[in-house]
Amino acid sequence: MLETRHLSDPVHIPANRNAPPLITVDNLSLWYGEKQALDRISFDLYDQEILAFIGPSGCGKSTALKCLNRMHDDTRGVRIEGRIEMEGGDIHHPDIDPPQHRRRFGWVAQKPNPFPASIWKNVAYGAEIHGLTKNRADLETHVESCLRRAHLWDEIKDDLHRREGADLSGGQQQRLCIARALATEPDVLLMDEPTGSIDPIATAKVEELMLEIKMDHSVVVVTHSMMQAARIADRVAYFHLGRLLELGPAATIFAGASTPEARSFIAGKFG
C-alpha cells in the first residue's frame, strides 16, 4: 500500500541550488490559433529535482511541458512568445538542431505506450538509432542497465525477446516506458500524469523510481494527485487558466499556498 509521509519529512536530497538552473523559462506565452493557452509563465528547473505541475484540467500543464522539448514545433497554428534557455542558450536559436535538443528529454505519457515490439527492442531502439553503443555486447549491457534502473529487469529478464511490451501488466509497461526513456540518456524526464492509469501498487513503484531517477536527472511531472506531489516533488508549480500562479517548495505550498486559487484547489483535492 501507499504510505502517507508527513509533509515535513525529508524524502530526498534537495536540489543543488548553488548550481545555475538547467532550464530557465522566461515570460512564455503560447497560442493555439486564437486561443491563448499559456500567459507569461516563468520558472526555473534545476538538476536533481522533481518539479510537479498541478492545477485544474485545461490550465496549460501539458502545454508547458511540451514547450521544454519543443514538441509543439510541428503543430500547426501554434505561436510562442518569450524565452526558454537551457544551460544558458536559447532553445529556439536557429543553430539548435531540434532533434538533438529533443534527445536531451525523455517523455513518459499517462497511458503506457510501448512500441509493438519485444521488450528488448523497446529499450534498445533509441540507443541504436542514436548510436549510443559501440557493439552488440555494449548494447546488451545498456539495455540491461536501463531495465534495472526501471526496476523491471528481475521480472522480465527471461522474456526479453519472447514477449512484446504490450504483453506486460500496465504498471510493468509504464516501467518499460521509463526504461525506454532512460535509454537515450536524457538530462530531463518529462512525465505527463505517469501514474494516471495504473493501480496504487504500480504507482508506488513508479514514484520510488522517480526519486531514484532524480539523483541524476531533472524531472518535471504533471500530476492530479496532491498526495503524489507531496510525496515526491521538491517544488510545485500551480497552474491556473494558463498562468503559473504559484511556485515553491512542495512543503510550503501544501502547508499554505499564498493565492486563494491554489489554496482552494489544494484544499479540494486533499479534503
| Binding residues for ligand ADP (CB under 6 A) | 32, 35, 37, 57-63, 75, 239
Rule CB under 5 A: which of 49-78 touch Mg ion? Answer: 62
Cα separation, 177 vs 271, whole angstroms = 32
Tracing cell 500543464 back to the chain, one arrives at: 61
User: Is the backbone of residue 258 left (phi > 0), alpha (psi -120 to 50) or beta?
Assistant: alpha
Least distance to ligand ADP, CB of residue 47, Å: 25
Least distance to Mg ion, CB of residue 1, Å: 27
As to burial, measured by CB atoms within 10 angstroms (0-12 exposed, 13-18 middle, 19+ buried), residue 209 is: buried
Contacted entry of ligand ADP, Mg ion, none for residue 268, CB cut-off 5 to 8 Å set by kind:
none
Cα separation, 23 vs 185, whole angstroms = 17
Residue type, 209: L
Query: Contact 246/258 with Cβ under 8 angstroms?
Result: yes
Contacted entry of Mg ion, ligand ADP, none for residue 100, CB cut-off 5 to 8 Å set by kind:
none
Contacted entry of Mg ion, ligand ADP, none for residue 58, CB cut-off 5 to 8 Å set by kind:
ligand ADP
Q: Nearer to ligand ADP by C-beta: 20 or 58?
A: 58
Q: Nearer to ligand ADP by C-beta: 30 or 127?
A: 30
C-alpha cell at 32: 493555439
Q: Nearer to ligand ADP by C-beta: 63 or 225?
A: 63
Q: Nearer to Mg ion by C-beta: 120 or 239?
A: 239
Least distance to Mg ion, CB of residue 24, Å: 23
